Amino acid sequence: MGAWPDLTEYHEAVQHPQKAFADPGLKAVTLELDRFGMPKPATGGNAVVYKAKEPGGFLSFKKTWAIRCFLRPISDHAERYDAISKHLRKVRLPYDVNFQFLKQGIQIRSTWFPIVKMQWADGDLMHIHIEKHLRYPASLAALREKWVTLVRHLEAAQVAHGDLQHGNILVRGGSIQLVDYDGMWVPALRGRNATETGHRAYQHPERGGQDYGQEIDRFSALVIYLSLAALERDATLWERFHTGDNLIFVREDFLQLGRSAIWQQLGRIGSAQIDQLAAAVAAMVQRRPMKVSNLDSVLQNLASFKFPTSIPASTPAQRTPPASKSPAVQGDRAAGAMPSWMKRSGYRDHSDD
Ligand SMILES: Nc1ncnc2c1ncn2[C@@H]1O[C@H](COP(=O)(O)OP(=O)(O)O)[C@@H](O)[C@H]1O
Ligand SMILES: [Mg+2]
């Protein structure tokens, strides 16, 4: 196999679906184009995703695909996807969309590379949805309630998504769908390492490649819950702390518990519930990543969390291994793969222009 394809090569190839794809349905697709007539991609850093429609007569509404092309190889990719697919079919959650891992996916330089063909999920990415509803605290509260239910269902079904963050969560009307199953954990994958460690703005700062199990979503689930609860009470947090690639926290906040500006601002809300949730996040940072409690249990025991009064300046940072992680488990996924101009131009947001 030659070098792994880069974004430009995928971009070239998808413009000729008949030649690029082996799947009969994909051979016939029309890609969504941008205003310059070029394929309009989205990416979170691990994959580049094209929206494509297959002519389908009566069932055409079901034939809008997300074609995910990978920006790097993933170890035992096919096996993992097989395990994930089997488990999801068994547990039948309402939050995932149908997908197929195609080993002979896309042809580049006469070599086949894998892709995922996935049903397109309509809706807004979570941060866009939140932004649209900042002035409607009741809508944010409804989303927060749905979030609790989703997280509970995932736990009960023994599924962990692995990278819960705005770019992988689509909200449409009252329902939430998750995309990007690369980092998912299901019981058949027990004993393996993670292929990624998730978005930095949502993860326990010490999470590493060996942390891989049912517990990996717990920290991010709590961060999302607290973010929504806080925004319900103080929408100005958005202007101040939303960067375009987070909700309101960034990784540094988990390394500077109680000291970075967000913690002060949360305190100013003057809500006992927000104080307790903030204390719960702080308490979870001080545990090992796989020892974080699940969301339901945190919410049931909220009153027991007190913000740690003395936190050594570099508590979690010191315990984090230096930045010598292998590329396969880098937390800072987007940074390497995507040129900064793409991030600046809102490339990943899939916003309509
Ligand atoms: N099935 C899908 N339906 C709708 N949008 C999708 C789908 N899959 C991916 N996307 C869009 O593409 C973006 C990047 O895809 P993702 O699978 O998250 O790649 P990465 O692994 O790089 O994060 C997502 O943030 C989302 O906007
Ligand atoms: Mg993603």
For position 174, what pLDDT does the model report?
Answer: 83
Q: Identify the band that residue 59 occupies on the pLDDT scale cut at 50, 70 and 90.
A: low
Ligand 2 centroid distance, CA of 46 (Å): 7
Whether 277 and 315 map to the same domain: the answer is yes
Ligand 2 centroid to 49 CA: how many Å? 10
- Does 151 lie in the same domain as 235? yes
The first and second tokens of residue 111, run together, are 């070599």
**Cβ of residue 180 lying under 6 Å from some atom of ligand 1:** yes
CA of 168 from ligand 1 middle (Å) equals 6
Structural domain ending residue among the three candidates 91, 119, 147: 119
pLDDT of 311: 62
Q: 67 CA distance to ligand 1 centroid (A)?
A: 9
Ligand nearest to the CA of 120: 1
30 and 164 both lie in a single domain: no
pLDDT digits (tens, 9 = 90+) for 197-210: 999 999 999 999 99
Looking at all shown ligands, the one closest to residue 74's CA atom is 1
Ligand nearest to the CA of 70: 1
* Cα distances (Å, whole numbers) of residue 17 to 9, 13, 118, 175, 351: 13, 7, 16, 32, 24
Considering the domain boundaries, does residue 336 fall inside one?
Answer: no
Q: 42: Cβ below 6 Å to ligand 1?
A: yes
Number of domains comprising the chain:
2
pLDDT band at residue 245 using 50, 70 and 90 as cut-offs? very high
Nearest CA to ligand 1 atom 11: 42
For 92-145, write each residue's pLDDT tens digit: 999 999 999 999 999 999 999 999 999 999 999 999 999 999 999 999 999 999
Please report whether residue 332 resides in a domain: no
Which CATH number fits the domain that encloses residue 46?
3.30.200
Is 1 domain-assigned? no
Q: Is the CB of 293 under 6 A from ligand 1?
A: no
The residue contributing the CA closest to ligand 1 atom 16 is 180
Q: Are residues 182 and 228 in the same domain?
A: yes
What pLDDT does 313 receive? 52
Q: 224 with 103, same domain?
A: no
Q: Is residue 151 part of a domain?
A: yes
Stronger pLDDT, 339 or 35, i.e. the higher one: 35
| Best residue for ligand 1 mutational test, from 180, 202, 330, 343 (most atoms within 8 Å of Cβ) | 180
Q: What is the CATH number of the domain that holds 209?
A: 1.10.510.10
Average pLDDT over residues 177-186: 98
pLDDT confidence of 78, banded at 50, 70, 90?
A: very high
Q: Residues 223, 247: contact at Cβ < 8 Å?
A: yes
Nearest atom in ligand 1 to 123's CA: 4
Nearest CA to ligand 1 atom 12: 42
Q: Looking at the structure, tell me whether residues 172 and 33 fall in a common domain.
A: no
* Pocket of ligand 1 contains residue 67 by CB under 6 Å: no
Q: Are residues 93 and 135 in the same domain?
A: no
Q: Where are the extended beta strands (E) located within 23-137?
A: 30-31, 41-43, 47-53, 64-70, 99-108, 111-119, 124-125
Predicted local distance difference test score (pLDDT) of residue 307: 84
Tell me, yes or no, whether 167 and 232 share the same domain. Answer: yes
Q: Is 331 part of a structural domain of the chain?
A: no
pLDDT tens digits, one per residue of 270-304: 999 999 999 999 999 999 999 999 999 999 999 99
CB-ligand 1 contact for 97 (6 Å cutoff): yes
Q: Are residues 172 and 310 in the same domain?
A: yes
Is any ligand 1 atom within 6 A of the Cβ of residue 121?
yes
> CA of 268: how far to CAs of 264, 265, 282, in Å?
6, 5, 17
H or E element that contains 176: strand 175-178
Q: State the Cα torsion 56-59-62-64 to the nearest 10°.
A: 20
Q: How many residues does the chain have?
A: 353
What distance in angstroms lies between residue 190's CA and the mean position of ligand 2's atoms? 22
Could you give the CA distance from residue 227 to residue 234 in angstroms, rounded to a whole number?
A: 10
Going by CA atoms, what residue is nearest to atom 2 of ligand 1?
120
On whether residue 353 sits in a domain, the answer given is no
348 lies in a domain?
Answer: no
Both 261 and 152 in one domain: the answer is yes
Does 158 share its domain with 293?
yes
Measured CA to CA, the distance from residue 195 to residue 209 in angstroms comes to: 7
Instruction: Characterize 227-243 residue by residue with b for buried, 16 or more Cβ atoms within 10 angstroms of its Cβ, and e for exposed.
Output: bbbbbbebbebbeebbe
Q: Does 57 map to a domain?
A: yes
Same domain? For 27 and 138 the reply is no
Instruction: Note the pLDDT of residue 310.
Output: 60
Q: pLDDT confidence of 232, banded at 50, 70, 90?
A: very high
Q: What is the mean pLDDT of the chain?
A: 89
Helices (H), ranges, the chain: 7-13, 17-20, 24-27, 77-91, 126-132, 137-156, 218-233, 236-241, 251-255, 261-268, 272-285, 295-300, 315-319, 333-337, 340-344
Which range of residues forms the domain containing residue 34? 7-119
